Amino acid sequence: MWKRRAKRWLLFLRRLQLEIGYDDCMGMAAQIAYYLMLALFPFLLFLLSLISFLPDLKPDDVLRSLSEALPAEAFDLVAGTVHAVLSGREGGILGLGLLAALWSASMGVGALITTINRAYNIHPRRNIAVQKVLAMALTLALSGIVILSTLMVLLGPRLSHQLFQFLGLAGDSQAVWNAVRLPVVVLLNLGGFSILYFFAPEAKQRYVWILPGAVTATVLWFGASQLFRLFVREFGSYNVMYGSIAAVIILLVYLWLSGFIFLLGAEINALMRRKDHYEDLPRVKGRVRKRAHT
């Protein structure tokens, strides 16, 4: 029994490898990274401007939480650029930053939607206007999750302390928050992946079908972020190769890696869905194109 299961999973992994190549996931991840790069700084400026309306919170608090995900060189680039813009900003940066971030990010989400439909073997039937509205809606939803995650990280200690006081509980509220912070952020990220994988493809599907890819992408993204930071710190030679633009290259590579993980989760869901619809997994030799049920 275990040999048969192992063989099926090996076939699944082999087919996944082929699908990644056929759908040009690496190339599409580069396109996504480009648009994410364009959206990153306007979105951060919008987020920092929004944070300034909250009491006892400073832009450095947001940047400090960002440092936990980005490699050191990439974080220095982002923080330095944001500080330079904030020091000379004018009124209206909140609205302009939001518009610029939404436009750039929606282009990246549009590339995600295209590739996800390709993974599902679906030829898009939505017209351009509907596709753009969907991309903007998903961008707003994902942006809301990012903002909520940031606020949870920043306001979590204070909220947990106030909750302890309200309930009359004794103990260290900070220790409790430190224990639940990571699971909360992971669940929020899982929710973001689930929204993307559920609404992006033009296919009727159940929520349970998107969970394998969403869980895999969430775990891989957190793990890859930490491993990439470690690699850049311990083994990276970007400064020697690229000189003054090393930080830009590192940030682009990180965004490309993130985009690839997003697409990998979609490919997993598409294959699992086909495996659920058909008795046998298609043969590895040659790509058997079967249109997904819609």
**Cβ-count burial of 119 within 10 angstroms (0-12 exposed, 13-18 middle, 19+ buried)?**
buried
Query: If DSSP codes are grouped into helix, strand and coil, which group holds residue 206?
Result: coil
If one compares 258 and 281, the residue with the highest pLDDT of the two is 258
Distance of CA 101 to the CA centre of its chain: 15
- Distance, in Å, from the CA atom of 258 to the CA atom of 223, rounded to the nearest integer, reads 11
Q: Find out whether 150 and 47 touch, Cβ atoms under 8 Å.
A: yes
Q: Per-residue pLDDT averaged across 132-150, rounded?
A: 86
Q: Is the pLDDT of residue 286 over 50?
A: no
Domain of 222 in residue numbering reads as 2-126+191-277
Distance of CA 108 to the CA centre of its chain: 11
Number of domains in the chain: 1
In a domain, 143, yes or no: no
* pLDDT at residue number 213: 94
In a domain, 164, yes or no: no
Q: What is the share, in percent, of the chain residues with pLDDT greater than 90?
A: 16
Instruction: Report the phi/psi class of residue 243: left, alpha or beta, with left for phi > 0 and alpha for psi in -120 to 50.
Output: left
Provide the pLDDT confidence category of residue 277 given band limits of 50, 70 and 90: very low
In a domain, 225, yes or no: yes
Q: Find out whether 254 and 29 touch, Cβ atoms under 8 Å.
A: no
Where is average pLDDT lowest: 23-27, 35-39, 280-284? 280-284
Distance of CA 226 to the CA centre of its chain: 14
In a domain, 255, yes or no: yes
Provide the pLDDT confidence category of residue 284 given band limits of 50, 70 and 90: very low
Handedness of CA 273, 274, 279, 283 (dihedral sign): negative
If one compares 102 and 67, the residue with the highest pLDDT of the two is 102
Q: Per-residue pLDDT averaged across 203-209, rounded?
A: 84
What is the pTM assigned to this prediction?
0.79
* pLDDT at residue number 178: 73
Q: Is the pLDDT of residue 281 over 60?
A: no
Handedness of CA 243, 63, 182, 98 (dihedral sign): negative
Q: Is the pLDDT of residue 84 over 90?
A: no
Handedness of CA 172, 178, 183, 188 (dihedral sign): positive
Tokens of 193: 């992946």
- Distance, in Å, from the CA atom of 68 to the CA atom of 74, rounded to the nearest integer, reads 11
In a domain, 182, yes or no: no
In a domain, 163, yes or no: no
- Distance, in Å, from the CA atom of 5 to the CA atom of 19, rounded to the nearest integer, reads 21
| Residue range 148-169, pLDDT digits in tens | 877 777 666 677 767 777 666 6
In a domain, 70, yes or no: yes
In a domain, 6, yes or no: yes
Query: If DSSP codes are grouped into helix, strand and coil, which group holds residue 130?
Result: helix
Where is average pLDDT lowest: 35-39, 120-124, 150-154? 150-154
Alpha helices, H only, the chain: 2-22, 25-51, 59-66, 72-87, 93-119, 128-167, 173-199, 207-234, 238-242, 246-277
Q: Is the pLDDT of residue 172 over 90?
A: no
DSSP secondary structure letters along 46-61: HHHHHHTTSTT--HHH
Candidates 52, 100, 60, 53; CA nearest to 83 is 60
* pLDDT at residue number 265: 94
* pLDDT at residue number 190: 93
- The amino acid occupying position 275 is K
Q: Is the pLDDT of residue 195 over 90?
A: yes
